Amino acid sequence: MKTELDKCLAGEWYDCHDPIFLEYKQNARALLREYNALEYDQKVRKTEILKALFARIGDNVSVGLPFICDYGCNITLGNNVSINMNCTLVDCNKITIGNNVLIASNVQMYTATHPVELADRLTPGWNPDSGEYFCRTYALPITIGDGCWIGGGVIILPGVTIGNGTVIGAGSVVTKDIPDNCVAVGNPCRVIRKINGEQDAIFSSGGGK
């Protein structure tokens, strides 16, 4: 029988108030309270907290303050990743960020979502004493490939994969997958041009500046 965590990671409806998720949230909140209160130059302690918060972080990673996430334990960062100030990662499902990635200020990534149809969105037979949440929730993973640059204020919706070497213009709302090596902008985000594919070798190696 599937646990609520199994259902969540499989992209199925799940109970977001199950004790495992409340534990994740409590742990993340405690770590974030300390992290967001640190001074700019307290880099050693910042790294220690990020290692405790995230599933994995690579080398040369910086996450600007303030930073918000839901569980933390579903976030994986590669090498040479810069996340600027005031970013929000709602990691109910996996958020995987590759090597050599730049994420500008105010970027939001949402793995959690709800059914569009009201009849599906509301929990059947719900009542306040049931212990259930009044609406149904599910979550889909987000993947950011190697060598991406995500511009300021970008919103990335559940289930989206952004390919290696791709640049997402500021203010875009990414509703669908974006392929490798392109510039994509707008709401909804669309490809406007390709980028030289020769950079693939640099991005996938974890090298570069």
Catalytic residue among 7, 25, 94, 114: 114
Evaluate the CA torsion angle 88, 208, 73, 3 in order and state its sign: positive
Q: Could you give the CA distance from residue 198 to residue 141 in angstroms, rounded to a whole number? A: 28
Single-letter amino acid, residue 88: T
CA 178 to chain centre: 16
Query: By C-alpha distance, which of 146, 162, 151 is closest to 200?
Result: 146
Burial 94-124 (b: 16+ CB within 10 A, else e): bbbbbbbbebbebbbbbbbbeeeeeeeeebe
CA distances from 52 to 15, 24, 73, 173 (A): 25, 12, 8, 30
The two tokens of residue 135 are: 């609406």
Catalytic, 114? Answer yes
The two tokens of residue 26 are: 């409590």
Query: Which residues does the annotation mark as catalytic?
Result: 114
